[in-house]
Amino acid sequence: MRFAVFYIATLATFAMLGVLIPQVPEAMRGNSAAIAVWVESERGTFGPFTETMQRLGLFEVFHAKWFLFALGFLVVNVTTCTFNRWSPTFRNVFRPPRRVPDSFFDRAHNRTVLAPIGIDALAPALRKLRYGVETRVENGTTYVFADRHPWTQLATFVSHLALILFISGGLITWFTGFSAEIFTGEGTTAPVFAVSNPNQLQVRVDSTTGRFGDQGNALDFRSKLTIFKNGREVAHGTTTVNDPFKYGGYRFHQVGYFADGAELRIRDVATGNAVFHETFPLEESTAAPSVTMTDASGKTLLVDTIAPTDFLAGASGAIVHVPGTDRVIWVGITAKGDKAWELVAFDPQGGGQSGQVRVAEGARGTISGIDVHFDRVAAIPSAVGLGIPGGDTKTLAQLAKGADGADSLTLVSSNTPAISLAPGQPTTVGGLEYTFLGRKPFAGIAVKRDSGAWFIWIATAMLVGGLAVTFYVPRRRLWLRLTPTATQVASLAEKSGGFENDMRILAHRLGVPVPPELQEER
């Protein structure tokens, strides 16, 4: 017993180390280069002890071989202990000593003496208390063996087995469990495992949607997935946040949704070969003015968010051809202080003060006879540095909605004119044909495999059931000796006070006095 306490305390200490000491992030596991970088970042905390701690596995306690060995040894110990006690306990439950020596009635831990009772009255009273009753008569003395719920002694084995299953489940999860996250665009495929895994799975997001409430709160994400194994399509189904798609022991949970992605294809016109074909997320944002332009008669000429293509000192904007007129106006915004924005409009053909205007957000101004209302500052989804051919390394891609509500992808580079692309309409610039194939939302899919989960669930049920039976199902074994002068009762040692209580109930039902030592204190 002392060894068991020491051993479990040691294991708990090891586990505490794993909680207190920073552990290698799960995503880095198996990547020695990434782990080396991570460990280096911990050197500031642990100084000269860092390398020794790494060698001892203290940065990966729950994956360290010594920890797993210790857990495994605990399993074996519990197993050995359980089997060790199985035989005597089994005998005690199913082959109990039904007749005890007379001396036992004088030395049993729990014993009492009631007034003389006949077996005809005693047996039904015991049965009403849920005892099984067996009797025998020897030399004029009646011996009674009464046993209630003897099988509950076996519940302790159920609890032991639950403990073994808990640890086994953890070990199985460690050896065969898997967890990864995939972030991929609609219509694209991503691998589940690192490259060249013999059980490689690939996930294609056929479609993905997100449903949001009035306040922008997410209500539901849903994706249709196709799963490929080693190049062959093996499953097809739908996943949601709360209802994962399952295949081959893996669960595919939708854990994220991102609406602002774009698919762009660029071909080399000379060869016809694609030189770029990507579906990419636009995870950043660019500030852009939403404006409404009207003419002198009040007729609305333009309602649009102007995606900036020119980034001047302190201002960003673009040239706008005002519909229904021959006017061209540069419209942009500039920061005014820390929190406010100001619309800047400039008419290259205008002159003097009438050719430029500055307007605060929500206000209006007039430029060259056109009324410009600065509706608000919009955030346009954007991305920088996608390696788009034809541009520079910092090409900016912006996904905005045009005046007609249609999506528009604008590519801005420092060395080439800005390219504005409408969905499905190829545009050729500098020998390259650019085609914006449309807005493509992205889905975040978590792939998990937890083979030990069933063990844990079963173990939990067994542990709860075992403990409930042990603590709440009353087990008792009585031996009684009925003589003409007294009824002697003996029972096994019990830590609870159940014996006294049972005797009081029995005496009450049989109409005999409760012995003084069993009377309740008032």
Partner 1 sequence: MTPRNELPLDEVSGVEERPQNRREWSGALRSLILPLLLVATIVGGLYYVEQRRGSSGRAADGTGIVTLPADKNSTGRSPSTDIGRAAPDFLLATPDGGTLRLSDLQGQPLLVNFWASWCTPCRQEMPEIVRAYDTRKDRFTVVAINLQENAAQVRDFAQEFGMMFPIVIDSNGGVGEAWHIGGPVKGIPASYFLDVSGVVQARVFGPMTAATLADGLAKIGVVE
C-alpha–C-alpha distance, residues 346 and 325, integer Å: 16
Question: Strand pairing partners for 289?
Answer: 377
CA 184 to chain centre: 19
The minimum distance between CB 156 and partner 1, in angstroms, equals 7
Using the minimum distance from each CB to partner 1, give the nearer residue, 100 or 319. Answer: 100
Tell me the closest approach of the beta carbon of residue 194 to partner 1, in angstroms: 6
Q: Check: CB of residue 95 under 8 Å from CB of residue 149.
A: no
* Least separation in angstroms between CB 153 and partner 1: 7
Q: Enter the tokens of residue 348.
A: 């290259």
Report whether 148 contacts 476 (CB < 8 A).
Answer: yes
Q: Which is nearer to partner 1, 177 or 355 (CB)?
A: 177
- The strand ranges marked E within 241-314 are 245-247, 250-258, 261-268, 274-281, 284-294, 300-305, 310-312
Please say which residue, 152 or 238, places its beta carbon nearer to partner 1.
Answer: 152
Of 13 and 196, which has the nearer Cβ to partner 1?
A: 196
Q: Under a CB-based contact definition with an 8 Å cutoff, are residues 433 and 424 in contact?
A: no
What is the rounded distance in angstroms from the CA atom of residue 45 to the CA atom of residue 50?
Answer: 8
Which is closer to partner 1, CB of 101 or CB of 511? Answer: 101
The answer to whether the CB of 189 falls within 8 A of the CB of 198 is no
Two tokens, residue 498 = 């159940």
Max CA pair span of the chain: 133
- Considering the complex, what minimum distance in angstroms separates the CB of residue 197 from partner 1? 6
Supply the minimum distance, in Å, between the C-beta of residue 355 and partner 1: 45
Q: What is the DSSP letter of 129?
A: T
| Rounded least distance, CB 212 to partner 1, Å | 29
Nearer to partner 1, 83 or 457 (CB): 83
**Smaller CB separation from partner 1, 268 or 361:** 268
Nearer to partner 1, 143 or 455 (CB): 143
Helices (H), ranges, 129-208: 155-176
Partnered with residue 190 across adjacent β-strands are 203
- Min dist. Cβ of residue 473 to partner 1 (A): 16
Q: Which residues fall within 8 angstroms of residue 204, CB to CB, at 6 or more apart?
A: 187, 188, 189, 225, 226, 227, 228
Residue 227 beta carbon to partner 1: minimum distance, rounded to whole angstroms: 12
- With the C-alpha atoms ordered 54, 60, 65, 69, is the resulting torsion angle positive or negative? positive
